[in-house]
Amino acid sequence: FPVQFLIRHNFKETYMVVREGARDEIEKYLSAQLEKEGVKMAVEYIVIADESEKGTADSLRIIAPKTKSNLLVISGDLITKVSLSELANVHRASNASVTALVAPWYSPPNADGKKKRNKKDGRDFVGLDPTDNRILFLSNEKDLDDEIVFRKGQLSVFPHMRLYTTLRDCHLYIISQTAVQTLLNKP
């Protein structure tokens, strides 16, 4: 689904971060799909060890030296029809360092027709500035201790932050080259 998303938006090259044990299978499948659809897309695989604890930021540190442009990061399990050009326009117009796609939490109805969220997924805590929807805080409850801590300086600058648990981080980000350089300089 994410590769189809990139094809729909005319991407011609991509970096794909994959676990070592899955690389051959993913590469074989993806090559066959691209050939079947007649799509020319250069795919460079960034392979990480199966037992590695590397996250998105660690993967970006590997990719960053290979590119001089903004990066689009998209999770392997995202299915969306969002307009990337609209998201990119917001990113550019806001002169943003990072633009993240968040969406209302969706819970499919269970057998009795009631919606129930899967508790093991964990809630996302999304703090937004009510004046411009700037993301001021973003974390999953699994990554937090028993309490949420905000820096006093952040609350001075943004005293009216609204904290939501009804939004979900979709794991689609546009990251400026400035933010990527910050990741490289301050691991």
Sheet of strand 98-104, all strands in order from the earlier edge strand to the far edge? 71-74, 167-175, 98-104
* DSSP label at residue 137: E
Is-contact 174 88, C-beta < 8 A? yes
Distances (CA, A) of 17 to 50, 78, 157: 12, 15, 36
What is the structure's pLDDT at 43?
Answer: 93
What are the pLDDT tens digits along the chain (187 aa)?
888 889 889 898 999 999 999 999 999 999 998 998 899 999 999 999 888 888 888 888 888 888 888 899 999 889 998 999 999 999 999 999 999 999 998 777 777 766 665 555 678 999 999 998 889 999 988 888 888 888 899 889 999 999 999 999 999 999 999 998 888 888 7
What is the structure's pLDDT at 116?
Answer: 61
Per the listing, tokens 């995202």 go with 78
Cα–Cα dist 76/78, whole Å: 6
What is the structure's pLDDT at 73?
Answer: 93
Per the listing, tokens 């932050």 go with 161
What is the structure's pLDDT at 118?
Answer: 57
What is the structure's pLDDT at 35?
Answer: 92
What is the structure's pLDDT at 17?
Answer: 92
What is the structure's pLDDT at 117?
Answer: 57
Q: What is the DSSP string of 27-86?
A: HHHHHHHHHHHT---EEEEEEE-TT----HHHHHHHHGGG-SS-EEEE-TT------HHH
Cα–Cα dist 5/11, whole Å: 9
